[in-house]
C-alpha cells in the first residue's frame, strides 16, 4: 500500500479530491462557531452544517476537509479497546447539491484502490437495506462484485437526527484477517469483532423527514462522507490499533520513556500509556483552539482529559509534572499539517503545566481520602461530592477509581447535590448588568464613535503590553469597547501584581505618547500571518483579512474602527484587574477624557483628604497641649515677693514653648504685679520663657533683659519685649541655676 504515514495519507486524500474539483478548506476549530447545539466539533460535517441547511452559501459546491474532532461518550473505554479514542481526524468530501451517489462511490473506490492501493480482496461494501440504487451503482458502475456487498438495517446504514435532512449510508470495510475474528461461523461484515473494520462512510442526504415521520425527497440532495484518518492509517500501516500508527506511536513512546517502561510488557501499564497518548493529543489541540480548563462545558471536558492523563501518569510511577513535555511531541508530530500549533506552543504548554500543577496540589489528599472510603466499601454520593467540593477531585475520576474496585456511587444523587450548590452560587452572585461577560472568544460591538475608536485602539496596545510584561501565553479571550472605557479578557493563570499592573499601564501610555501612526491594510491571510498578525483564538477568517498595525508595537487582524495615531487615545488608566473564569483574567480600564475625569476626581479627593488631615492635626495639637498641661500649684513652683513684685520660677520636663508659655500665663494671672520665668528641657533641647504683668513693667521690669541674662548661665541666648521673652540654651544641668538668677536680677 502507498502513502502509509498519517501525514502522507492526509495530504494524498485532500490532493485527490482537489483534483476532482473540490475546494480544500482548513480544519475548523474544535470550538463550534455560532452553533450552540454542540459542545465540541465531533464530525467532519459539523462545521459545514450551515452549508447543508442553506443558511450560508458555501464557497464551492464541492468541498474537502480534514477536520479535528473530539468525542467523549466512550471515554471510559479509551485505552482498553483497539478503536476507541477521544481525539481523531476525519477526512471528508462534500457535495452541496452538486454530484451524488455515482460520483461519491466511484471516487471513494478510486482513492482506496488506485491511490493508496488497498488490495481488492480486502475490501467490502455495505448499503442500506432499501437502497437498490446504491447497489446498482457499486456493481454496474464501480465494478464491485455483488457478493462483496451487504445490506444493513436502519440502525447501521441510515443517517438521521430527529427531523430534517437525512438519508441512507454506504460504507467501505476492510478485512483484517481471521486472526482478528471471533471464530464464529457467522462472522461477516457487520460483526462486532475486530476483523471487519468500517473505515469510510458515505452518507447520501436525499430526504427531508417531517414530524409525522414522512420522508420527502430533497430537490438538491447532498453528499457527506467521513473517513477516520487514524483508522485508515491502521489499515495502511498494518498495525493492531490506532495507538500504533506513526504519529500516535511517537507520543506513546515518549510517555513510556518518561515512565521507564516498555509498551506491550504489561497490559495494565499499556492501558495507561494509551489513555495518556489519546488525552494529550486532544488537550493539545483543544487548548490550541482556545479552550481553557474550567468546571463547566467544554472547559470541563479539557480539565477531565488532562486530569485523567495526569492520574494515569501517577499509575505509571511518574510523580513529577510531565504532560507539557509530551505535548511538545504532539506539536512536533502535527506541525506540518497544523502550523498554528507552533505559533501557540508556549501558550499550550503553560496551560497544561498550570493545570497539572493544580491537580498535583489536590490529588494526593483526595486519593488518600478515597482510599479510606474504598476500604470501608460504603461510599455515598455525599462522599463523592465532598471529594469534589473540598479537594477538587473530579467526579468522573472518582467513578473510574471506584469501578476499578467494583464499587459504584449514586450519580443521580451526586448531580442533585451539585445542582443545589450551583443554585446557592447563583443566589450569592452579584451580576454587574452594565458589564455583562461577552463569553469565550465573543466581542461586543458598539456604535463606533471617536471615543470608541480610542478605546478600541487601546485594547490593541493593552494586549501588546500584557504579552510583553506577562509572556506570550497571553491572548485575547473577549472584550468590550465603550465610550472612553474598555474591558479586556485575556488568558493568564494568576492575579497580576501591583508592580505588573504599573508596568503594563506605563507601557501603554508610553506607546500612546509616542503618537505611533496606524497602518490599516487588506492582506492575504498567509501574508498577514507572516507579518506576525495576532488573531482571535478560534475565529474564522477569509482569504483576505484586515490588518491593523501600530508600528512595531502591535499587529492584529481586526475589522473595527481605530485612531489615526496612538496619540489620539490621550491617556490610559487601569481601574481594576480580576478573575473572569478559570485561566482568564479581566482588566477594566479607562482612556481619553475618561482618564481626565478620574484625575479630577482624585484631585478633589486629595484636596478633601488634605483639608481633613490639617483639621485633624490642629485637633491633635490641642489634645497634646492639654495632655502636657501642668498643675502649676505644685511645690515645683518657687515664688518670692521682692519690692512689691511677686517673682515666680518654674521648671518643667518639656521644651515645648507653648506649654512653657501656658505655664507662665497660669502663674502670672494670679497677681496683678508679677514676673514669671519658666525653664524646661527634653530630647528637643532647653527652652526658657519670661513673662511680666503691666504692673511689674511699670515698676521697671523688662522681660527681655532678664532673659538675656539667665540664658547666659546655660550657654544660650534670647530676648524679647518688656512683657514677654523667650530663649534657648544648651546646658540642661544649669536650668535651676538660671532660674534662681531671676530673683537676683529683680532685686
- DSSP letter string over 83-109? S--SEEEEEEEEEESS--HHHHHHHHH
Give the bridge partners for 125, in sequence order. Answer: 149, 172
Choose between 636 and 168: higher pLDDT: 168
β-strands 443-444, 215-228 pairing: unpaired
Q: Residues 188-220: pLDDT tens digits?
A: 998 888 899 999 999 999 998 988 999 999 888
Closest C-alpha among 331, 506, 314 to residue 401: 314
- DSSP-assigned letter for residue 129: T
> E strands along 551-672, which residues?
554-557, 572-581, 584-591, 638-642, 645-652
SS3 559: coil
Question: What phi and psi, each to the nearest 5 degrees, are found at residue 490?
Answer: -150, 155
pLDDT for residue 521? 92
Cα 146 to Cα 150, 204, 631: the distances in Å are 8, 20, 125
Please check whether residue 517 is in contact with residue 422, taking contact to mean a CB–CB distance below 8 angstroms: no
Please state the length of the chain: 747
Opening angle at CA 357, ends 355 and 359, nearest 5: 70
Please check whether residue 332 is in contact with residue 273, taking contact to mean a CB–CB distance below 8 angstroms: no
- In this prediction, residues 400-406 reach a mean pLDDT of 86
Rounded Cα gap, residues 418 and 430, in angstroms? 20
Question: What phi and psi, each to the nearest 5 degrees, are found at residue 553?
Answer: -85, -45
pLDDT for residue 379? 85
Please check whether residue 446 is in contact with residue 438, taking contact to mean a CB–CB distance below 8 angstroms: no
Q: Residues 155-190: pLDDT tens digits?
A: 999 998 888 889 999 999 999 999 888 888 889 998
What own/partner pairs with CB < 8 Å and gap ≥ 24 does 472-477 have? 472/346, 472/347, 473/346, 473/347, 473/350, 473/351, 474/347, 475/290, 475/344, 475/347, 475/534, 475/536, 475/537, 476/534, 476/536, 476/537, 477/290, 477/292, 477/440, 477/441, 477/537, 477/580, 477/584
Please check whether residue 29 is in contact with residue 289, taking contact to mean a CB–CB distance below 8 angstroms: yes
Question: What phi and psi, each to the nearest 5 degrees, are found at residue 602?
Answer: -65, -40
Whether residue 511 has pLDDT greater than 70: yes
- In this prediction, residues 570-588 reach a mean pLDDT of 89
pLDDT for residue 440? 38
Rounded Cα gap, residues 3 and 116, in angstroms? 6
CB under 8 Å to 405, separation ≥6 — which residues?
Answer: 374
Three-class SS of 181-242: CCCCCCCCCCCCCCCEEEEEEEEEEEEEECCCCCEEEEEEEEEEEEEEHHHHHHHHHCCCCH
**% the chain with pLDDT above 70:** 93
pLDDT for residue 634? 43
Whether residue 720 has pLDDT greater than 60: yes
- In this prediction, residues 630-637 reach a mean pLDDT of 49
Rounded Cα gap, residues 475 and 472, in angstroms? 8
pLDDT for residue 442? 40
Rounded Cα gap, residues 577 and 599, in angstroms? 19
Lowest-pLDDT range of 306-315, 322-331, 403-412, 540-549: 540-549
DSSP string, 14-27: HHHHHHTTPEE-PP
- Residue range 441-591 forms a domain whose CATH class is alpha beta
pLDDT for residue 335? 95
Q: Residues 354-375: pLDDT tens digits?
A: 899 888 877 777 888 888 888 8
pTM of the model: 0.68
Whether residue 243 has pLDDT greater than 80: yes
Is the four-CA dihedral 261, 264, 270, 276 of positive or negative sign? Answer: positive
Rounded Cα gap, residues 214 and 169, in angstroms? 18
CA 257, distance to chain mean position in Å, is 32
Whether residue 519 has pLDDT greater than 90: yes
Rounded Cα gap, residues 442 and 412, in angstroms? 34
Domain ranges of the chain: 6-244, 274-428, 441-591, 594-628, 638-746
User: What's the first-to-final CA gap in the chain, in angstroms?
Assistant: 133
Band (pLDDT 50/70/90 cuts) for residue 318 is very high
Q: Residues 389-401: pLDDT tens digits?
A: 777 777 888 888 8
Please check whether residue 484 is in contact with residue 593, taking contact to mean a CB–CB distance below 8 angstroms: yes
Closest C-alpha among 570, 575, 562, 574 to residue 592: 570
Dihedral Cα 80, 83, 85, 90, nearest 10 deg: 180
Choose between 619 and 555: higher pLDDT: 555
Give the bridge partners for 725, in sequence order. Answer: 690, 720
Q: Rounded mean pLDDT of the chain?
A: 88
Rounded Cα gap, residues 500 and 228, in angstroms? 47
pLDDT for residue 628? 52
Please check whether residue 708 is in contact with residue 745, taking contact to mean a CB–CB distance below 8 angstroms: no
pLDDT for residue 280? 97
Please check whether residue 695 is in contact with residue 716, taking contact to mean a CB–CB distance below 8 angstroms: no
Residue 705, classified by CB atoms within 10 Å of its CB into exposed (0-12), middle (13-18) or buried (19+), is middle
Q: Architecture of 6-244 per CATH?
A: 2-Layer Sandwich (3.30)
CB under 8 Å to 50, separation ≥6 — which residues?
Answer: 56
Fold topology of 638-746: Diaminopimelate Epimerase; Chain A, domain 1 (3.10.310)
**Exposure of 416 in the CB half-sphere (CA atoms within 13 A):** 8
Which range of 20-24, 313-317, 470-474, 678-682 scores highest in mean pLDDT? It is 20-24
DSSP string, 302-365: HHHHHHHHHHHHHHTT--S--HHHHHHHHHHHHTTT-THHHHTHHHHHHHHHHHHHHHHHHHHH
DSSP run (H or E) holding 282: helix 267-288
- In this prediction, residues 690-700 reach a mean pLDDT of 92
Rounded Cα gap, residues 648 and 57, in angstroms? 109
**Exposure of 743 in the CB half-sphere (CA atoms within 13 A):** 12
Is the four-CA dihedral 212, 217, 218, 223 of positive or negative sign? Answer: positive
Closest C-alpha among 87, 85, 67, 71 to residue 14: 67
Residue 642, classified by CB atoms within 10 Å of its CB into exposed (0-12), middle (13-18) or buried (19+), is middle
Band (pLDDT 50/70/90 cuts) for residue 125 is very high
CA 238, distance to chain mean position in Å, is 42
Q: Residues 430-453: pLDDT tens digits?
A: 443 333 333 337 444 433 468 889
**% the chain with pLDDT above 90:** 57
Please check whether residue 203 is in contact with residue 225, taking contact to mean a CB–CB distance below 8 angstroms: yes
SS3 content of the chain, % helix, strand, coil (to 5): 45, 20, 30
Whether residue 31 has pLDDT greater than 80: yes
DSSP run (H or E) holding 68: strand 62-70
Amino acid at each position: 500500500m502507498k502513502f502509509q504515514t498519517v501525514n502522507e495519507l492526509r495530504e494524498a486524500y485532500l490532493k485527490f479530491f482537489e483534483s476532482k474539483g473540490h475546494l480544500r478548506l482548513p480544519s475548523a476549530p474544535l470550538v463550534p462557531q455560532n452553533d450552540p447545539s454542540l459542545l465540541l466539533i465531533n464530525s467532519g460535517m459539523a462545521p459545514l452544517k450551515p452549508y447543508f441547511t442553506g443558511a450560508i452559501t458555501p464557497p464551492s459546491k464541492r468541498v474537502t476537509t480534514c477536520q479535528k474532532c473530539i468525542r467523549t461518550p466512550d471515554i471510559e473505554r479509551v485505552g482498553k479497546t483497539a478503536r476507541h479514542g477521544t481525539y481523531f481526524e476525519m477526512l471528508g468530501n462534500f457535495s452541496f447539491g452538486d454530484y451524488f451517489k455515482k460520483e461519491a462511490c466511484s471516487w471513494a473506490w478510486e482513492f482506496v484502490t488506485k491511490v493508496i492501493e488497498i488490495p481488492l480482496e480486502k475490501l467490502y461494501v455495505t448499503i442500506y437495506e432499501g437502497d437498490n440504487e446504491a447497489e446498482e451503482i457499486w456493481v454496474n458502475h464501480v465494478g464491485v462484485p455483488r457478493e462483496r456487498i451487504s445490506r444493513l438495517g436502519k440502525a447501521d446504514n441510515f443517517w438521521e437526527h430527529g427531523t430534517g435532512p437525512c438519508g441512507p449510508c454506504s460504507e467501505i470495510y476492510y478485512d483484517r484477517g481471521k486472526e482478528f475474528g471471533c471464530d464464529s461461523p457467522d462472522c461477516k461484515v457487520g460483526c462486532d469483532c475486530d476483523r471487519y473494520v468500517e473505515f469510510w462512510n458515505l452518507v447520501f442526504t436525499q430526504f427531508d423527514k417531517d414530524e409525522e415521520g414522512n420522508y420527502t425527497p430533497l430537490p438538491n440532495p447532498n453528499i457527506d462522507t467521513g473517513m477516520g484518518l487514524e483508522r485508515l492509517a491502521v489499515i495502511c500501516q498494518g498495525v493492531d490499533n490506532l495507538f500504533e500508527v506513526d504519529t500516535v506511536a511517537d507520543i506513546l513512546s515518549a510517555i513510556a520513556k518518561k515512565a521507564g517502561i516498555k509498551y506491550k510488557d504489561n497490559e495494565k501499564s499499556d492501558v495507561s500509556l494509551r489513555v495518556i497518548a489519546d488525552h494529550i493529543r486532544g488537550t493539545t489541540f483543544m487548548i490550541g483552539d482556545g479552550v481553557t480548563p474550567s468546571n463547566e462545558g467544554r472547559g470541563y471536558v479539557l480539565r477531565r482529559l488532562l486530569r485523567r492523563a495526569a492520574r494515569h501518569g501517577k499509575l505509571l510511577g511518574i510523580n513529577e509534572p510531565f504532560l507539557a513535555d509530551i505535548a511538545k511531541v504532539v506539536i512536533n508530530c502535527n506541525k506540518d499539517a497544523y502550523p498554528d500549533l507552533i505559533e501557540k506552543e508556549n501558550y499550550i504548554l503553560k496551560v497544561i503545566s498550570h493545570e497539572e500543577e493544580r491537580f498535583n496540589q489536590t490529588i494526593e489528599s483526595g486519593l488518600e481520602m478515597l482510599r479510606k472510603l474504598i476500604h470501608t466499601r460504603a461510599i455515598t454520593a455525599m462522599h463523592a461530592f465532598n471529594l469534589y467540593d473540598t479537594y477538587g477531585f473530579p467526579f468522573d475520576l472518582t467513578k473510574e477509581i471506584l469501578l476499578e474496585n467494583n464499587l459504584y456511587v449514586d450519580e443521580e444523587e451526586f448531580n442533585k447535590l451539585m445542582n443545589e450548590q450551583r443554585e446557592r452560587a447563583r443566589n450569592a452572585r452579584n451580576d454587574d448588568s452594565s458589564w455583562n461577560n461577552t463569553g469565550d472568544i465573543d466581542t461586543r460591538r458598539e456604535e463606533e464613535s471617536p471615543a470608541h475608536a480610542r478605546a478600541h485602539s487601546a485594547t490593541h496596545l493593552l494586549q501588546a503590553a500584557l504579552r510583553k510584561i506577562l509572556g506570550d501565553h497571553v491572548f485575547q479571550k473577549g472584550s468590550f469597547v465603550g465610550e472612553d472605557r474598555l474591558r479586556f479578557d485575556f488568558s493568564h493563570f494568576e492575579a497580576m501584581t501591583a508592580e505588573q499592573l504599573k508596568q503594563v499601564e506605563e507601557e501603554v501610555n508610553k506607546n500612546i505618547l509616542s503618537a505611533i501612526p496606524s497602518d490599516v491594510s487588506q492582506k492575504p491571510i498567509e501574508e498577514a500571518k507572516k507579518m506576525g498578525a495576532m488573531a482571535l483564538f478560534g475565529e474564522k477568517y477569509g482569504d483576505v483579512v484586515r490588518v491593523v498595525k501600530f508600528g512595531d508595537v502591535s499587529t492584529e487582524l481586526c475589522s473595527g474602527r481605530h485612531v489615526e495615531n496612538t496619540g489620539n487615545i490621550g491617556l490610559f488608566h487601569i481601574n481594576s484587574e480580576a478573575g473572569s473564569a478559570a485561566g482568564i483574567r479581566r482588566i477594566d480600564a479607562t482612556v481619553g477624557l475618561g482618564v481626565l475625569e478620574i484625575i479630577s476626581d482624585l484631585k478633589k479627593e486629595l484636596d478633601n483628604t488634605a483639608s481633613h488631615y490639617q483639621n485633624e492635626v490642629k485637633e491633635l495639637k490641642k489634645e497634646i497641649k492639654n495632655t502636657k498641661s501642668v498643675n502649676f500649684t505644685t511645690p515645683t513652683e518657687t515664688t518670692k515677693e521682692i519690692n512689691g513684685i511677686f517673682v515666680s520660677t518654674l521648671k518643667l520636663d518639656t521644651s515645648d514653648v507653648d506649654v512653657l508659655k501656658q505655664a507662665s500665663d497660669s502663674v502670672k494671672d494670679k497677681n496683678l504685679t508679677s514676673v514669671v520665668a519658666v525653664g524646661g528641657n527634653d530630647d528637643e533641647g532647653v527652652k526658657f520663657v519670661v513673662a511680666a504683668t503691666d504692673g511689674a513693667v511699670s515698676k521697671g521690669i523688662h522681660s527681655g533683659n532678664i532673659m538675656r541674662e539667665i540664658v547666659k548661665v546655660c550657654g544660650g541666648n534670647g530676648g524679647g519685649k518688656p512683657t514677654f521673652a523667650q530663649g534657648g540654651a544648651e546646658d540642661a544641668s544649669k536650668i535651676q541655676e538660671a532660674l534662681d538668677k531671676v530673683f537676683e536680677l529683680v532685686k
